[in-house]
Structure 1
Amino acid sequence: MRKAVFILMLILCIAINVFTLWLILPDFFFPKRSVYVTKQDDYIVEIVKEYFRIEYDISKIVYQQSFPNGYSLDIYDVVGETDKEFDDTLSVAESNEIQEYFLNLKPDSSKYLRLLEAELIIEFFVITVIIIANSRKNRRKSDTEQKAQ
């Protein structure tokens, strides 16, 4: 019975990990890069505002590589709402400069990556506790058998 519960637990853990990896997968293929704007006079913000004809203050820009080549931008206003989503596949000088700037930034970490790490730590801890408890039980059982002989 205990073996069956242990195997069921392992299968459940694997299923949860596979699902979490499935959630993380798009971030590995199409990583996002964000710029949190603290000064409205940043040169990339000015280029983005000019290129896409934006008239409001920007608080955040999220860049994502598009297929086959080009990019998309989610542009957030000061309140923090997405006002515009731009797709650009043109090859003009400003567009290339915007894309080059974001490609040199470090990609954002996936929001589900911390969840996967926590799952793996908890699973490792639980499996270790079960293995230690089982080995102690087997040792006690063998000690009692040796004393009986």
Structure 2
Amino acid sequence: MKLEINGAPARSEDLAGAFGYGHFTAMQVRDGKVRGLDVHLRRLVTSTRRMFGSDLDTDAVRAYVRQAIQGEDALSVRVLIFSCAMDWSDPGAPAAPDVLVRTGPPREHEMKPVASVDDVELSHAPETSRILAEAYDSNPWDEIY
């Protein structure tokens, strides 16, 4: 497993701020590609604005992931956005985001729904399931490089 913060090897003192308040995305990398990378990045950008009131540099995120996966064909990657600069006395104040990239062994799994639509009593569940399935199926494996 590899841990890097803002492109540098993570130190134990850096990790204390990386857990507790933040958001992440997890992805599988195959041959330098991630399926639906643009969807992962959009969600990170949106959540960073909501949580930290600041913008996320997606080019930097790509560079950090690219560096972390260098020389590997298949990996699991988690990108965690947090902020060492967050002022806990004023948590609503904008704070610069930090990016932790963690790599590990690849995961091979079959996509299965957590529950069938029949088990969920929501009037929008069939439509939501259809939209999610179309979004996943229509997203190609995007190059990180």
TM-score by length of 1: 0.23
**Higher-Rg member (1/2):** 1
TM-score by length of 2: 0.24
Which protein, 1 or 2, shows the higher relative CO under an 8 Å CA cutoff with sep ≥ 6? 2
Q: Whose helix proportion is higher, 1 or 2?
A: 1
